[in-house]
């Protein structure tokens, strides 16, 4: 395959790391972002220790439009133009709407939804000019079905797919695809830290009888990033073990 450059936002978490590994294994040069300094050197060392030499990390606040543009300009100069963009960065600030503050609302909307504008805007023209691009937005099962205590998160994640469908139509003839994936409950460190009885209640509602694996999410993204995925655009792919079927 053609050697391409993939950028994964929030790539140092459980799912993000799996995505970076899968793309690197497929021959991509991988760039990732992190919000706060501290663990990036250890993460890079771990990745390079596993044989992933062509991997780069940049600090970036995905809610800051100017910071995203500056980071992408620097990455393009130092590594090269981005061919594949995976919008994976996200946060939660859960609580019933009655108790939810404006700060909780704004933080989730800015990180999960505004970040799409901030990251896509600086790379899209280059993708169009080169006649190839893959934009993959990581939504959630809760953006499809809603979730008690997550009005902010569900709204942001549903909004991601509206963005996907509209942009996909604008760039379809230019060789650029735009897709959403909506994972269910995945066995990340965060989910595994939930008390076992709570985790078992979640699993009881998943028809396949288990949590998903980060590598399963990464495998789907790897396909969407590939040359052979050019006929799929504007889609929202559920990967949730049958927990929510549409």
Q: Mind listing the pLDDT tens digit for each residue in 184-198?
A: 999 988 788 888 998
pLDDT of residue 194: 82
pLDDT of residue 34: 94
pLDDT of residue 190: 77
Contact in structure between 41 and 18 (CB atoms under 8 Å): no
Q: What is the pLDDT along the chain (246 residues), one digit of tens a residue?
A: 578 999 999 999 999 999 999 999 999 999 999 998 888 999 999 999 999 989 999 999 999 999 999 999 999 999 999 999 999 999 999 999 999 999 999 999 999 999 999 999 999 999 999 999 999 999 999 999 999 999 999 999 999 999 999 999 999 999 999 999 999 999 988 788 888 998 999 999 999 999 999 999 999 999 999 999 999 999 999 999 999 998
In whole angstroms, what is the distance from residue 30 CA to residue 86 CA? 11
φ and ψ at residue 244, rounded to 5 degrees: -140, 120
pLDDT of residue 192: 86
φ and ψ at residue 122, rounded to 5 degrees: -75, -15
From 34, 58, 153, 185, the catalytic residue: 153
φ and ψ at residue 230, rounded to 5 degrees: -70, -15
Residue 184 CA, chain-centre distance (Å), reads 14
Kind of pairing, strands 236-239 and 133-138? Answer: unpaired
pLDDT of residue 212: 97
Assess whether 153 carries a catalytic annotation.
yes
In whole angstroms, what is the distance from residue 236 CA to residue 118 CA? 21
pLDDT of residue 162: 98
Contact in structure between 179 and 232 (CB atoms under 8 Å): yes
CATH number of 5-235: 3.40.50.720
In whole angstroms, what is the distance from residue 175 CA to residue 130 CA? 8
Q: Mind listing the pLDDT tens digit for each residue in 208-224?
A: 999 999 999 999 999 99
pTM of the complete model: 0.96
pLDDT of residue 191: 84
């Amino acid at each position: 395959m053609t050697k391409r450059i993939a950028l994964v936002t929030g790539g140092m978490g459980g799912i993000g790391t799996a995505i970076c590994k899968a793309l690197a294994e497929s021959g991509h040069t991988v760039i990732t972002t992190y919000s706060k300094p501290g663990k990036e050197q250890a993460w890079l060392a771990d990745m390079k220790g596993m044989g992933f030499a062509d991997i780069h990390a940049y600090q970036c606040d995905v809610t800051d439009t100017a910071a995203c543009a500056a980071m992408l300009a620097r990455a393009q100069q130092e590594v090269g133009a981005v061919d594949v963009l995976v919008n994976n960065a996200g946060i939660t600030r859960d609580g019933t709407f009655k108790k939810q503050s404006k700060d909780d609302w704004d933080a989730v909307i800015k990180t999960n939804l505004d970040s799409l504008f901030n990251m896509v805007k600086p790379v899209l023209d280059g993708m169009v000019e080169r006649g190839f691009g893959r934009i993959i937005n990581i939504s959630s099962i809760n953006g499809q079905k809603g979730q008690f205590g997550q009005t902010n998160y569900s709204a942001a994640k549903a909004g991601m797919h509206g963005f996907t469908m509209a942009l996909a139509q604008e760039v379809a003839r230019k060789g650029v695809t735009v897709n959403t994936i909506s994972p269910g409950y995945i066995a990340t460190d965060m989910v595994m830290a939930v008390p076992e009885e709570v985790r078992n209640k979640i699993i009881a509602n998943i028809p396949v009888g288990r949590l998903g694996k980060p590598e399963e999410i990464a495998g789907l993204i790897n396909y969407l990033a590939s040359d052979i995925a050019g006929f799929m655009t504007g889609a929202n792919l559920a990967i949730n073990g049958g927990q929510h079927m549409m």
